Amino acid sequence: MALKYALLAALQEEAASGYDLTQRFRTRLANVWNASHQQIYRELGKLEAGGQVIVEEIAQQGRPDKRIYAITARGREALTQWLETIQPRPATRDPFLVKLFAGDLADPAALLRELEHHRSNWRSQLGQYRTIENTYFLNPGQMDSQYRLQYLALRRGITAMQSNLGWAEELEEALKEMMPEREPEEP
Amino acid sequence: MALKYALLAALQEEAASGYDLTQRFRTRLANVWNASHQQIYRELGKLEAGGQVIVEEIAQQGRPDKRIYAITARGREALTQWLETIQPRPATRDPFLVKLFAGDLADPAALLRELEHHRSNWRSQLGQYRTIENTYFLNPGQMDSQYRLQYLALRRGITAMQSNLGWAEELEEALKEMMPEREPEEP
DNA sequence: TCGCGCATGTAAGTTGTTACATGATTTA
DNA sequence: TAAATCATGTAACAACTTACATGCGCGA
């Protein structure tokens, strides 16, 4: 449901092709809304059918024509209306937490391995967000309101990763305590 | 995909009816995995067909028979195997952040209203988690490993809510600065 | 008497994932 | 020369949501 509006918001910022949008969703919007290229193309088709975006075809040699989507007045109107409605919070569904819930069936060593995996993901995510921060939002005092709000969305990503990493330390400590079976030491 | 394992994990803890499971998913598992009763009943049907749970029917008067599901050896095996596999992190999809991304189209006053809404949700969530903490995990030093891991899953919920609330303050301040148009004061 | 809790389900629709498909250009 | 990037899509499936359906007992 909100994918539609995420696309309109992205296009409102700047017209783009499906491919471009896919890149943006993977980078600057990673923090906000995830969508695969298949979903994006499908939804763009619907938006076009509904007159909320228009397409300009750009012929290219050696690859499919580029289709640049731009938001229409109708699209902007739909987006503006949606902005007024209070949206429900997204549901939490975390397989890693399911594993912790399963508790005593789980092998602490396996959980530790998985934790390290997620942790390094979180660290690199945080790094990417920091890069975006430095690239686009250097001096927040001078930003106009559009970018200021985008920055606050990014801040959400940053604080979330920090919170993840903090919790990861709590968990690591506990898991280590749960496996006193040590590797035999090399002589 | 993971709903299946969330159900097995819940049943491994204690056999239950679909109705009971729905309650548990809304309370102790709210933090971990969300699922509606329709999803739960459907998935339980599949698990039964696959021999991963068995049902005991309990006749009742005045209401439908209660069907108590219990995990089987096969179910426990499937769960154990799944626990060994590293699962991908869940995708982020937050409509409220989409709104911030839309930036200058949005009315700061409307965003503030929505923020207050979410914030009070977060506060009450945090309160509920604290209640669970006090009810089930009073003295963590003496917990066995099953409950210790469940406690760490709960800790994730608590730290996440705290992080949400911290960010909410940042955002509130910014939104207030963006609307210097004041209500006309009463004389 | 009205709504909530108990207790189960069916049906239809939307959203998201996975697999398949094509083919030139640039980079290592 | 192999892989990644550019650029678009179709098809089938799985997961999740929303609406509909039933009906008793209990407390305000």
Going by the DSSP 8-state scheme, the letter that residue A62 receives in this structure is S
Segment B145-160, tens digit of pLDDT:
778 999 999 999 999 9
b/e code B89-113 from CB counts within 10 Å (16+ = b): ebebbbbbbbbbbbbebbebeebbe
Specify the DSSP element, H or E, that contains B62: none
Residues in A touching B89 (Cβ below 8 Å) = 94, 96, 118, 121
pLDDT higher than 80, residue B74? yes
What pLDDT is attached to residue A153?
97
> Tell me, in Å, how far CA of B61 is from C1' of C18?
46
Asked if residues A32 and A153 have their Cβ atoms less than 8 Å apart, the reply is yes
Instruction: Tell me the average pLDDT of chain B.
Output: 92
Q: How far apart are CA A8 and CA A47, in angstroms?
A: 9
Asked if residues A14 and A28 have their Cβ atoms less than 8 Å apart, the reply is no
Q: ∠ CA A136-A146-A130 to the nearest 5 degrees?
A: 30
Residues in A touching B11 (Cβ below 8 Å) = none
What pLDDT is attached to residue A28?
93
Question: Has this prediction a pTM greater than 0.95?
Answer: no
Segment B11-52, tens digit of pLDDT:
999 999 999 999 999 999 999 999 999 999 999 999 999 999
pLDDT higher than 70, residue B186? no
Q: Hey, which residues 143-162 in chain B have their CB within 8 Å of chain A?
A: 144-150, 152-153, 155-156, 159-160, 162
Residue ranges of chain A with per-residue pLDDT less than 50: 187
Tokens 């686009």, residue?
A136
Question: Does the CA dihedral B110-B114-B117-B122 come out positive or negative?
Answer: negative
Structure tokens at B117: 């809404």
Segment B89-131, tens digit of pLDDT:
999 999 999 999 998 899 999 999 999 999 999 999 999 999 9
Strand D contacts (CB < 7 A) among A residues 29-68?
37-38, 41-42, 44-45, 60, 63-67
Segment A79-129, tens digit of pLDDT:
999 999 999 999 999 999 999 999 889 999 999 999 999 999 999 999 999
Encoded amino acid at B78, one letter: A
Residues in A touching B5 (Cβ below 8 Å) = 95, 98, 102
What pLDDT is attached to residue B185?
55
What pLDDT is attached to residue A137?
86
What pLDDT is attached to residue A187?
47
Lowest model confidence (mean pLDDT) among A2-11, B66-75, B80-89, B174-183: B174-183
What pLDDT is attached to residue A186?
53
B166 touches A: beta carbon within 8 Å: yes
